[in-house]
Amino acid sequence: MESMGSAAIFYATAAVVLGSALYVVVGRNLVHSAFALVAAFFGVAVFYVYLGADFLAGAQVLIYVGGILTLLLFGVMLTNRIYNLNLRSGAIQVVPGALSAGLVFALLVWIIQSVDWGAMDSGDPGPTSESIGRLLVGDYLLPFEIASVLLLIALMGAAMLVRRRGSS
């Protein structure tokens, strides 16, 4: 009975994620789209909890909702005139776009159905932060260091790109 309730919550979350994702891509108001994206990110964090990835769920909320989304909202606010309160975003080439996206979806569904994944639920792995930390400074040390350098480069590059020319 408990697992039925948990499954119901899972599918409700899936509906929320897909619904808000749909609003992000078809909604007319940019700020509303950004807030629909918050719902989608939170829903994905719920999926991570279902998959037993507790550390990733926290990271998702902190980085995506706390960081990237704030950045995107800044982007919306700074690239539209403030007096222009209806921040509209039009759509172009809707029919070819829908056709391509539908084709991609059909292809993915076909692949998922035709492959025998033979997957067994390996059970709840328990708290993962310790093992992820050990992996990051062990097996995955090089990707970890490259990611740090990439973050530094992105930081400096972004600062340089938006600097006004000739104001050193």
Partner 1 sequence: MIPLEHYLYISAALFSLGVFGVLTRRNAVNVLMSIELIFNSANINLVAFSRFVEGALGGQVFALLVIVIAACEAAVALAIVMSLYRVMKNVNLDEAAELKG
Q: Which of residues 107-146 bind partner 1 (CB under 8 A)?
A: 108-109, 112, 117, 119-122, 125, 128, 131-132, 135-136, 139-140, 143-144
Rank residues 75 and 168 by Cβ distance to partner 1 and give the closer one. Answer: 75
29: amino acid identity, one letter: N
Q: Are 40 and 60 in contact (CB under 8 A)?
A: no
Both structure tokens of 72: 């995107």
> With binding defined as CB under 8 A, does residue 161 bind partner 1?
yes
Taking the complex as a whole, the smallest distance from the CB of residue 104 to partner 1 amounts, in Å, to 5
The rounded distance, in Å, linking the Cα atoms of 78 and 90 is 18
Contacts of residue 76, defined as CB under 8 A and 6 or more positions apart, other chains included, come to 30, 31, 34, 87
The rounded distance, in Å, linking the Cα atoms of 20 and 36 is 5
Range 3-62, binding partner 1 (CB under 8 A): 3, 7, 10, 14, 17-18, 21-22, 24-25, 30, 33-34, 37, 40-41, 44, 47-48, 50-53, 55-56, 59-60
Taking the complex as a whole, the smallest distance from the CB of residue 59 to partner 1 amounts, in Å, to 6
Among the listed residues 96, 126, 166, 168, the single contact to partner 1 using CB under 8 A: 96
> With binding defined as CB under 8 A, does residue 150 bind partner 1?
yes
Rank residues 78 and 168 by Cβ distance to partner 1 and give the closer one. Answer: 78
Both structure tokens of 145: 């260091």
The rounded distance, in Å, linking the Cα atoms of 16 and 19 is 5
